[in-house]
């Protein structure tokens, strides 16, 4: 159970600031780009609603998926590289566990990401709605 909570913290709460920053930047750019079109048609007051709708339905989940998977993937790659340099992988193979059994704890990352992903998806929605110029 401690490993699960550690993975939830690593994937979810430590990725939240990066996801929120990406959502804020995309929200600001999206509002700047769509404002001129909305002014031209006289519906400038619809900008917040259009922005939140487009972030919730289109952009937010994609941005969250890319940012979280990039951050977590880089972390796993760095951890495996560190294990290779310190010869921990060779020690695992020498002890008879082999490569298949040693990667079993890493398969929990996918499960944890499914649990945390909906919570992290909310971050770009909130920050993009607040960051409009």
Q: Please report which confidence band the pLDDT of residue 1 belongs to, taking 50, 70 and 90 as the band edges.
A: low
Give the mean pLDDT of 24-39.
87
pTM of the model: 0.65
Q: Left if phi > 0, otherwise alpha if psi is -120 to 50, otherwise beta: which for 87?
A: left
Nearest alpha-carbon partner for 117 in 19, 5, 12, 10:
12
Q: What is the pLDDT of residues 62-111, one digit of tens each?
A: 888 888 888 888 887 888 888 888 888 777 777 776 555 545 455 555 55
Nearest alpha-carbon partner for 125 in 46, 22, 44:
22
The residue count for the chain: 133
101's tokens: 């059994």
Domains in the chain: boundaries = 2-122
64's tokens: 């969250």
């Amino acid at each position: 159970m401690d490993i699960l909570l550690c993975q939830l913290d690593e994937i979810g709460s430590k990725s939240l600031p990066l996801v929120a920053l990406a959502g804020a930047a995309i929200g600001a750019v999206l509002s700047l780009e769509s404002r001129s079109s909305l002014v031209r048609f006289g519906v400038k007051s619809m900008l917040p609603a259009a922005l939140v709708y487009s972030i919730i339905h289109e952009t937010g989940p994609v941005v969250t998926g890319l940012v979280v998977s990039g951050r977590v993937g880089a972390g796993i790659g760095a951890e495996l590289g560190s294990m290779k340099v310190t010869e921990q992988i060779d020690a695992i193979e020498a002890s008879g566990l082999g490569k298949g059994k040693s990667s079993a704890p890493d398969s929990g990352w996918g499960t944890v990401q499914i649990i945390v992903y909906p919570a992290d998806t909310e971050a770009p929605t909130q920050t993009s709605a607040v960051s409009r110029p």
